[in-house]
Structures are given as structure tokens and as C-alpha cells.
Amino acid sequence: MEPSVSAPSSSPLTRRPQWQALQEHAGPLGRRHLRELFAADPARGERLHAEAAGLYLDYSKQRVTGETLRLLLELAGACGLHERIAAMFRGDRINTTEDRPVLHVALRAPAGAHIDVDGRNVVPEVQAVLDRMAAFSERVRDGSWTGHTGKRVRNVISIGIGGSDLGPVMAYEALRHYSRREMTFRFVSNVDGTDFVEATRDLDPAETLFIICSKTFTTLETLTNAQAARAWCLQALGDERAIAKHFVAVSTNATEVQKFGIDTTRMFGFWDWVGGRYSMDSAIGLSTMLAIGADNFRAMLAGFHAMDEHFRSTPLQHNLPVLTGLLAIWNANFLGAATVAVLPYEHYLKRFPAYLQQLTMESNGKHISLDGARVDYATGPIYWGEPGTNGQHSFYQLIHQGTRLIPCDFIGFCRALNPMPDPHGGDQHDLLMANLIAQSEALAFGKTAAEVTAEGTPAALVPHRTFEGNRPSSTILAERLDPHTLGALVALYEHSVFVQGVIWNIDSFDQWGVELGKALAKRTAAEIASSNDPELSHDSSTNTLIRRYRRLREASA
């Protein structure tokens, strides 16, 4: 069925001459192959790149020309990108539907910086929380913070969900190489009890510290898991006073933290101008700091800040987040790509695609513009991915020979964190990176029917073994994965998401779309829990599912 809201025939964005110029340009360019673009401009691979904060971006294998970039930059100008970037850094209330500034950049500003929110410089508060986190982390890491029975803390479990989980998990996995190996770090997010049970089954409560992470401290999943943690702890330690040594909170909501039973002296705060999915570098990253230490955490913040400064001050045509954001617009709106594959060739980044899913899709999965009108263009594409080379033996077939256009972001590092000799005398890392480079080449240039035939392939198999190519990708290279590089990489995507939101004229910082499901789940939970057969007034499918669930649950009980 069609959605009941009808789209206006044309929005201001699609009526802009710059948008229409891009549409006209996309027709003929869409018919040009990357083989042709490289043949026409042999230096293309050296020219179409940008560099900042230790990251090198090669975008020469995107289906663009100098003219495409010129038109995209004109569109950015017409959409006021420059001014919107300045507004974000100034602390203007650019999250209009929640009436808030968007200042994750203040979380990584240097101590002497000055960023005002409502006339107050917030940088000293940010630094004060960082200092408290550092002091606490130091005590846990050196063993002077002990549990209730006097045992040192060996296990840290961070409980949170969404932005209060995905960033910390991703950062812990990404920076595991730098982590305190004799400590165990786990993350519990799902309200499915299995998550908590499996995370705790082999741990001693006397040696376990829980970090309850929730911006609002009202999130059902997190509070349910926090109660489970409390019960698990008390059952073993048998004394309410144990909570003081085994629980800390990270939140903006001191009242709810106290209600839960965590004293605010053991709470690390942040602010409503930090969006959940932009908070891994706030106190939400306490588990990261516990794992890698305060100095490494500050190095990560420096990486974020280096990219922030680049984004704030570099002309748009050389600006990495601007370029990646505009290329994403080009692929989504003018070449018709509905998804983006993120392919890190670094096993430590295995949770990076999952982290990016929230960052990109919760930010730009919107169909209402800042003016309150339904948009008539595609917005946020679907992000997904797996580390290479694993993905090559799974879904790459579809990227190479399927019917859909799937732009890819390849991410690789030049130095191995775990060098391993390979049987041919090289290093396994060289094999890994050879695969990354080969994949981007294969996607761009493919293999023609003539080349396949020349190899002696039977005629009937030629179409099957032909690769059309012309599949766009960008490659991000850095020297090695370390805290600074991770910060720069995350900031690159954060700002790229913002650039796309500016062009699409949407609020990238709200998330109203998650509310309806939450409200309905509350009502359904009450109906499922009710001891007598409740009167149900949903649609017939929902009513039947609730009844069947209750019946089968009771039958098996």
C-alpha cells in the first residue's frame, strides 16, 4: 500500500538549479565507465585524493569527474554548508526539533579552548569530567580501587544500548591491542536475558565493576540489565554497601542515577548537547579509558580534534568530510545507490560497521525536512559491512556481479599491529592489504568479455565470468590503527553524516523514529504480563500474536 502522506511535487532542494545541473550531468556521466575516465586522465589516481589528520582518501574510483565535483560543491554552497558548519561549531541550536546545540566537538576541544553554550564556556566542565574519569581509571587499573571484599577489579561490564553501547564496544575492539590484557571487558545491551547471563557466567562478582551508561537513565533495556546486575552482585556479596564499590554511572540525569542507588560522587556526567550516537568520546567511553588508559584516551580525543579542525577550517574542495559527504549524495541521489558497504581490512575494526549503522542511519534516516515537509528525494542510505577478507567469501559476489550499485568504503592500514610471517616469506598483513587494493581495482575495472574469451573460456561461460566493473569505491588509508587514527576516522564519518544532512535539509541529530515502537512495547509488555486473559484492541495480527505467545508460553511452563 502507498503511504498516506503525499509528497509535494517538488521540494526546494530538487528545484535548486545546482541540483538540476547535477541531474543533467548524471545522465551522460552515468554512461561513462571508470575505465574510460582513467584512460582519459592517467594521473587521476594521484589527483583525486585528500589528506587530513593522518588519513589519506583516494576517491579516484568514484564515478565522478572534475565537473561533478564542481557541481557538488556548488550545491553545497547553495545549501549554505559553510555557514551550517560554522553554526555547529558556534553552538547554535542546530538540532531544531529538540532545540539543542550539537557540540560533540567540545568533547575533544583542547583544555584552553572556549565554546559557549547559553553564555557559559563548557570546555572546563568537559575537562573536569575527563580528569575525574582519568583518576578513577587509574585507581581501577593500579588496583587501589577494590571491590567490596577488598579484591581488585579484574572485570568491567559496561551496560548500555544504542549510542551508550555501540561506540564503547567498537572502540574497545578497535583499540584492544592497546588494552590492559589482564582485565576482562564485556558489554551488555540487549534486554534478552541471554546477553547478561553469557556476559557474567564465568565472572566473580567480587572482582566485577559495572558501568551503567545511559544518557537519559530511563532506557528500558539498560535499566532492566542494571537491575539484573545489581541482583547478581547482591546475591553473591549479600550487602547493599557493595553497590558503592561495584557500580558507577554515566549519564546526564543525576536524579534517576540517584534513584537507582548510585551516588552522584560515582557518576560521570555529560550534557544534552551530546547526542547518544556522538558520545563515545564523552564519559560514555569510560570503559575505553579503563581499557587503554587515560593517555591513550586523550590521544584518541586529539585524533577527533585534528579532524574537527580540518573540517572547520579547510576549504570545501579539500575537506575530507565534505568530499565524502558530497560523494555519498552523488551516489545516493544521482546514481541511485541505496546502500553503502563499509569494508575495513583490519580485524580490530570488526564492530565499526555496526557502530556506523547507528551513526549514519539514526542520523539521516529521515523523510521530513527541517521545514516540516516530506522530502521528494532519497535520504540516508543503508550502511552495512564486515571486515575484509571475510566479506570477500560471502557477499562480495553481489557487489561484483549483482544488479545493484553498491558503493564501497575500503579502510586499510599500512602497518600491521600483529605482524605474522606468511609461508611465502612476506607478512600476512601484505596479503590482507593486497586483497583490499585488488578488490577496489576489480570493482572499478572489471574484466571484459574479450579478456575472458582470450583466456580460452567456453563461449557459454563468458557472460558468467565477465565483470562489468564501474562499481564505485573510496579507499581510506592510514599508517596504522591507533587511538589517534581511530578518533580521526570516527570524526570523519560524524562530519560526513552532518554534511549529508545539511544537503538533505534534515535534522541529523534527533531520532523520533524510535519512539513509537518503545511506546507500543510498553503497552504490549503489560498485556503479555497480565495474569488474566486481557482484552486486546490491536489489529487482528497483533492480537493473534500476543494470544499465541501467551498460550505457548503457558503450555510449555
Q: Kind and range of the H or E element at 382? A: strand 382-384
Cell of 339: 546502500
The widest CA-to-CA distance across the chain, in whole angstroms, is 78
Piece in contact with ligand F6P (CB under 6 A), picked from 141-149, 161-169, 226-234, 286-294 = 161-169
Dihedral sign (CA 173, 176, 180, 184)? positive
- Determine, following the binding rule CB under 6 A, whether residue 163 of this chain makes contact with ligand F6P: yes
d(CA 280, CA 494): 12
Residue 162 near ligand F6P by CB under 6 A? yes
Query: Does position 282 bind ligand F6P by CB under 6 A?
Result: no
- Cell numbers standing for residue 384: 552495512
Q: Pick the closer one to ligand F6P by CB: 190 or 313.
A: 190
Task: Indicate whether 54 belongs to the interface with ligand F6P (CB under 6 A).
Answer: no
Backbone angles phi, psi at 408, to 5 degrees: -120, 145
Q: Indicate the length of the chain as a whole number.
A: 557
Residue type, 456: G
In whole angstroms, the minimum distance from the beta carbon of 160 to ligand F6P comes to: 6
**Site for ligand F6P contains 249 (CB under 6 A):** no
Piece of 68-76, 160-168, 262-270, 366-374 that binds ligand F6P (CB under 6 A): 160-168
Distance CA(497)–CA(328), nearest Å, equals 9
- Residues 220 and 518 sit within 8 Å (Cβ to Cβ): yes
Nearest residue (beta carbon) to ligand F6P: 276
| Contacts with ligand F6P, 182-221, as mask; x by CB under 6 A | --------------------------------xxx--x--
Catalytically annotated residues: 362, 393, 518
Site membership for ligand F6P, residue 276 (CB under 6 A)? yes
Which residues, 494 to 533, sit near ligand F6P by CB under 6 A? 511, 514
Query: Shortest distance, CB of residue 379 to ligand F6P, whole angstroms?
Result: 17
Considering the complex, what minimum distance in angstroms separates the CB of residue 510 from ligand F6P?
Answer: 9
Q: Is the peptide bond before 222 cis (omega within 30 degrees of 0)?
A: no
How far is the C-alpha of 88 from the C-alpha of 275, rounded, in Å? Answer: 13
**Interaction between residue 164 and ligand F6P (CB under 6 A):** yes
Cα distance between the two ends of the chain: 40
Q: How far is the CB of 196 from ligand F6P (least distance, A)?
A: 16
Here's the x/- map for ligand F6P, 437-466, by CB under 6 A: it reads as ------------------------------
CB of 257 to ligand F6P, least distance (A): 12
101 vs 387, which CB is nearer to ligand F6P?
Answer: 101
| Pick 214 or 288: Cβ nearer ligand F6P | 214
What is the rounded CA–CA span in Å between residue 330 and residue 553?
A: 50
Dihedral class, residue 14 (left if φ above 0, else alpha if ψ from -120 to 50, else beta): alpha
* Residue 413 neighbours by CB under 8 Å, 6+ apart: 345, 346, 477, 478, 479, 480, 481, 485
Name the CA dihedral angle for 117, 123, 127, 128, rounded to a multiple of 10 degrees. Answer: -50
- How far is Cα 484 from Cα 240, in angstroms, rounded to an integer? 41
Grid cell digits, residue 432: 590482507
Contact flag: residue 492 with ligand F6P (CB under 6 A): no
What minimum distance in Å lies between the beta carbon of 130 and ligand F6P?
A: 19
Nearest distance from C-beta of residue 211 to ligand F6P, angstroms: 12
What minimum distance in Å lies between the beta carbon of 126 and ligand F6P?
Answer: 18
Comparing CB distances to ligand F6P, the nearer of 59 and 187 is 187
Q: Which stretch binds ligand F6P (CB under 6 A): 5-13, 36-44, 157-165, 176-184?
A: 157-165
Helix axes 320-329, 483-504, angle to 10 degrees: 50
Answer yes or no whether residue 158 interacts with ligand F6P by CB under 6 A: no
Size of the site for ligand F6P (CB under 6 A): 14
CA-closest candidate to residue 443, choices 341, 294, 316: 341
Single residue of 11, 200, 208, 222 touching ligand F6P by CB under 6 A: 222
Contact set with ligand F6P (CB under 6 A): 161-164, 214-216, 219, 222, 276-277, 362, 511, 514
